[in-house]
Amino acid sequence: MNLKISALDYVQEVQNGNISAEDFIASTLERIRSVDEKLHAFLNVNEDALNQAREIDKKIKSGQKVGACFGMPISIKDNMCIKNSKTTCASKMLENFVAPYDATVISKLKAKDAIFIGKVNMDEFAMGLTTEFSAYGPSKNPWNLDYTPGGSSGGSAVSVSAFECVASLGSDTGGSVRNPASFCSVVGLKPTYGLISRFGLISYANSIEQIGPVTRTVKDNAFLLNMIAGLDSNDNTTVDNKNEDYLSGIDSGIEGKKIGIIKEMIADGTDPAVLSATKEAISKLENLGATCEEVSLDMVKYSVAAYYTITATEAGSNLARYDNLRYGYDFSLEGYEFNSYIQKARKNFGPEVTRRMIIGGFVPSAGHAGKYFLKALKVKNKLTKEINEAFKKYDLLLSPTVPVLPFKLGEKIDDPVALFLVDINTVTANLTGKPAISVPFAISNGLPIGIQFLADSMNENMLLQAAYALEKTVKLPEVPI
């Protein structure tokens, strides 16, 4: 069984009767058994997947209507609720939390006959960019097991990259889909804020985060986006995309498009290999008929500081509900007075979450908000104005997804400030609500490099078209695992 086929090819093969869902799922489970001990992409594997595949095969054989996924194995970041299954956010705090409902993206994919092959690893509550802050241990980069796969949706990128599933859903608060996609050489999309319902996604910084597909090809990404995007009455922040089809025009090319190269995202500190890959990407795009020129977004300099201030504030509030009174882990509250109980119950948060919650208690507090939180909101507004101006002039913006190459596990975990700077190229899309995608572009000394495109709000179509055009110009080696 060839597990390396794309999602679209999988659909084709099953439809043509060349493979069965059952065989494909069985091989996938076998693959997970054989490689995941090394990779640790999965936090748990769906024991019922084979049965579900058999049901779908039955439907196909009897000529019943089958959903567009035809039993395709999809992994889900463990911060999205699947009814009656554990959703831990890779935290001890939610060790025993069994979701009583499906996230909107889950019910949409269920209706399309996708099979959720398992829940995948992440940094605890999506705070981090290496998966090293998972309470259940880090995932490894399939390109080199000594390296981090990126994060926080590391498990999503690893499982897709290492053929443990066909596609995955991650979530992106400041680059959490695009960063691991870049580090693992897969495609990762952060859509326009509001394009995909967040209902059932456990909030970290709710005003800027989005669910996004992680796939091996750009077309697969558009295919998945078609199924999960759109208005949802359960999420008041969703926007109507009028059932836009992101796949049909994907081969439109980028001839005549104007692309702005964001100066602040290829500044000092950018790895030379990353810089030269970026230049190569630019020249390939120009060969395809696009015009590229540098553009300055001055506020990008302050974007990471603003990002951490805003996310810490929202996290401090979003995670306040984990007091272990209504759900959580085994801990008897008898004999405690409320305040001491709260203190004790919340000890189960890991170090990074604790750090951000402490910051989140401080930066918006009376007497400090003006200096930190409100200032961060100003940066966010100014940055949005700047990028809106840029989109009057350019169709797309471009940068390397991450200014540095993947680094070793343990290399930066003790240096929060160094880690934070890895975010510099990705947080802008979140702070401004714009869609952005990371496309695999090069391998340098066995380590992947991704290129990032940004488009104006609700312009995912052009974003995917550009990504597809660039993807077609490269032939990358296969993952060595």
Partner 1 sequence: MTKIGLEIHCQLTNLESKLFCSCKANYRQFDINENICPVCMGLPGSLPRLNQDAVKKATMIAMALNCSTPEKIAFFRKNYFYPDLPKNFQITQLNIYGDTSVGGSGSIMVGDKKIRITRIQLEEDPGRLIYEGNSSKNQITLVDYNRAGTPLVEIVTEPDFENPKQVREFLNILSDLLENLGVSDPSLEGAMRADANVSIEGGKKVEIKNIGSFHDLEKAVHFEITRQESLHSREIEISQETRHWDDKRKITISSRSKEEALDYRYFLEGDIPWVTINPEILQKLKLEMPESISSKKERYVSKYKIPNQVADVLSSDKFYSDLFEDSHTEANAKEIANIITTDLMGLVDTREKREASKITPKHLGDLADAIQNGKISRNSAKNALHEIVKTGKELSQIITDLDLGNVSDESELLVIIKDVISEEPQAVEQAKSNPQTINYLVGKVMQKTKGKADPKLTLDVLKKQIEQ
Residues annotated as catalytic (active site), given as ranges:
77, 152, 176
Least separation in angstroms between CB 210 and partner 1: 12
CA distance 108 to 78: 17
Closer to partner 1 by Cβ: residue 24 or 341? 341
Closer to partner 1 by Cβ: residue 36 or 209? 209
Residue written as tokens 């498009």?
257
Backbone angles phi, psi at 214, to 5 degrees: -120, 125
Closer to partner 1 by Cβ: residue 323 or 411? 323
Task: Find the length of the chain.
Answer: 481
Quick count: other Cβ atoms within 10 Å of Cβ 369?
Answer: 17
Least separation in angstroms between CB 342 and partner 1: 6
CA distance 244 to 41: 32
Least separation in angstroms between CB 364 and partner 1: 5
Determine contact, residues 273/397, Cβ cutoff 8 Å: no
Least separation in angstroms between CB 409 and partner 1: 28
Determine contact, residues 270/403, Cβ cutoff 8 Å: yes
CA distance 208 to 187: 20
Beta-bridge partner residues of 188: 214, 438
Least separation in angstroms between CB 17 and partner 1: 38
Closer to partner 1 by Cβ: residue 101 or 420? 101
Least separation in angstroms between CB 134 and partner 1: 17
3-state secondary structure of 78: coil
Least separation in angstroms between CB 256 and partner 1: 35
CA distance 436 to 434: 7
Selection from 57, 48, 50 nearest residue 82 by Cα? 48
Angle, CA of 49, 54 and 57, to the nearest 5°:
125
Closer to partner 1 by Cβ: residue 208 or 218? 208
Residue 157: exposed, middle, or buried by beta-carbon count in 10 A (0-12, 13-18, 19+)? buried
Q: Give Rg (Cα) of the chain.
A: 21
Closer to partner 1 by Cβ: residue 255 or 330? 330
> Could you list the residues that contact partner 1 (CB under 8 A)?
79-81, 87, 89, 94, 97, 99-101, 103, 198-203, 206-208, 233-237, 313-314, 316-317, 320-323, 325-327, 334, 338-339, 342, 361, 364-366, 369, 373
Quick count: other Cβ atoms within 10 Å of Cβ 434?
Answer: 25
Selection from 249, 204, 246, 201 nearest residue 227 by Cα? 246
Closer to partner 1 by Cβ: residue 206 or 252? 206
CA distance 165 to 9: 13
